[in-house]
Structure 1
Amino acid sequence: MRILLEILRVMFIFLILMAILGTFFENLYLNIGNGAEKNSWISLIAIIILIFVLYRNKFQFSGWYEGEGKEKLPRKVSQILITSSIILILIPPIIAQLN
């Protein structure tokens, strides 16, 4: 039962944060006004990576699951993933500017 609750919790976290951040970046790209919203799907990949890092480093320790394997991502891996997410978020406006 705890595993099912944890799976539902993870899905809820991902869906809510994806909706909020996806809407934020979509509106941001629309306000830039250079056609960046056409490539906003790239920012969704960045959001998924950011939520994954956030879950692995914070949220997994406050849930219902009490099994093995609960450990933070190594600091270097977290830094690489966050940096790549930032780069992915910056790509749509750059691509739109080049076109």
Structure 2
Amino acid sequence: MEHAFTPEEAAIVAASQASEATAELLRFIRQGAYSERAPFDVEVTGKLAEALKLSIDIEGDPAPDSILDDDERKLLTDLRDALVAFLEGWVG
């Protein structure tokens, strides 16, 4: 089930996810791997993927008259679709 965030709510969630991931990456730099089995204490990749997906959602579909060309618009759409599939598999 997908959440229906307002753009402001999506921005808060995206910033929170990106901040948590950033904090964990900084912790990793200072202290090293979290354990012998895992480098991180939190799901860094999943949090960054969600933050990126939400930021794409906030921007919305690029208009045909945007600065993006057709190939770039297609790449952005493909990236969002891949992030959705990744997150569904990650959380699912």
Q: TM-score, normalised by structure 1?
A: 0.38
Q: Which has the higher contact order (CA 8 A, sep 6+)?
A: 1
What's the TM-score, normalizing by structure 2? 0.41
